[in-house]
């Protein structure tokens, strides 16, 4: 199996967790255009030696971390992830980061492109509970060459208890087409059908409510009034003759 790409990172805030089942999620969002995902899973390990050899060994998946790279993370999506507040006036959004802001735990998933036996496949990876935080940022002045940099955020992967599968960390599902993979992931995360990579589009405004949900409202544009075409009176006389 060869990994040849990744795309479509989505996040959905956890609304509730019922004991013995996986979380219930709210409205999902597309975080951006994906550049990378560095996944590091943690294992608790134990070894029992007896008669000078290893008699027992156990390894348990306990969680991990993920460093996510996207081309850009809009302010409205930072408020959902990190618990920051924001205000919008005259289509200009300002985000406010405070020391007591708390990141929202949520489900996180994306699509991996694979090559299996010469055929392209699409694997949806879904982490049941992740808490993201902002990463360090580095900026530099412009020079003679162009250097592109992405935006990185770091997530802590946490298990959730499910009576069916135990301490659940993630799930993988493989599809033959990208369309099927996107549909499955968007349904899993509760991403609306009209969601886009960018939160703010021309003639629209994103509103983030106090509970962290994101809504897009349309601002009607002014259109030029329609006027009847002007004709030459002499031309009308000629036509009437």
pLDDT tens digits, 84-99 = 888 888 888 888 888 8
Nearest to 207 by CA among 102, 110, 79, 114: 79
- Average pLDDT score over the chain: 81
Do the strands 151-157 and 119-134 form a parallel or antiparallel pair, or are they unpaired? antiparallel
**Averaged pLDDT for residues 30-39:** 92
pLDDT tens digits, 180-189 = 999 999 999 9
The residue ranges of DSSP E strands in the chain, in sequence order, are 2-16, 24-25, 29-30, 34-50, 53-70, 85-89, 92-96, 106-116, 119-134, 151-157, 160-162, 166-168, 170-175, 204-208, 214-218
pLDDT of the residue at 223 = 35
Looking at per-residue pLDDT, the higher value among 208 and 116 belongs to 116
Residue 233 has pLDDT above 80, yes or no: no
172 and 181 Cβ atoms separated by less than 8 Å: no
> What single string gives the DSSP state of each residue in 49-95?
EETTEEEEEEEEEEEEEEEEEES---HHHHHHHH--EEEEETTEEEE
pLDDT of the residue at 206 = 46
Enumerate the domain spans of the chain. Answer: 2-222
pLDDT of the residue at 10 = 96
Looking at per-residue pLDDT, the higher value among 47 and 223 belongs to 47
In terms of C-beta density within 10 A (0-12 exposed, 13-18 middle, 19 or more buried), how is residue 74 classed? Answer: buried
133 and 103 Cβ atoms separated by less than 8 Å: yes
**Averaged pLDDT for residues 132-136:** 86
Among residues of the chain, what percentage have pLDDT more than 90?
46
36 and 69 Cβ atoms separated by less than 8 Å: yes
pLDDT interval class at 232 (50, 70, 90): low
Main-chain dihedrals φ then ψ at residue 159, nearest 5 degrees: -80, 155
Nearest to 137 by CA among 122, 121, 151: 151
pLDDT interval class at 143 (50, 70, 90): confident
């Amino acid at each position: 199996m060869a990994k040849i790409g990744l795309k479509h990172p989505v996040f959905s805030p956890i609304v509730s967790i019922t004991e013995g089942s996986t979380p219930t999620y709210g409205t999902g969002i597309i975080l951006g255009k994906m550049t990378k995902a560095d996944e590091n899973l943690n294992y608790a390990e134990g070894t029992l030696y007896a008669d000078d050899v290893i008699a027992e060994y156990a390894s348990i998946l306990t969680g991990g971390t993920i460093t996510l790279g996207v081309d850009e993370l809009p302010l409205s999506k930072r408020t959902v992830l990190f618990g920051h507040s924001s205000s919008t006036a005259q289509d200009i959004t300002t985000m406010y980061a405070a020391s007591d802001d708390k990141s929202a735990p949520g489900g996180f998933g994306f699509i991996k492109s694979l090559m299996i036996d010469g055929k392209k496949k699409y694997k949806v990876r879904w982490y049941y509970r992740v808490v993201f935080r902002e990463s360090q940022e580095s900026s530099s002045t412009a020079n003679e060459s162009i250097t592109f940099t992405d935006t990185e955020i770091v997530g802590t992967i946490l298990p959730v208890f499910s009576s069916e599968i135990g301490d659940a960390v993630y799930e993988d599902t493989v599809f033959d087409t990208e369309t099927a993979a996107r549909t499955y992931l968007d349904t899993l995360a509760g991403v609306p059908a009209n969601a886009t990579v960018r939160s703010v589009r021309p003639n629209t405004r994103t509103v983030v409510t106090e509970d962290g949900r994101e809504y897009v409202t349309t601002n009607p544009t002014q259109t030029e009034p329609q006027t009847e075409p002007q004709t030459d009176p002499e031309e009308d006389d000629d036509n009437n003759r």
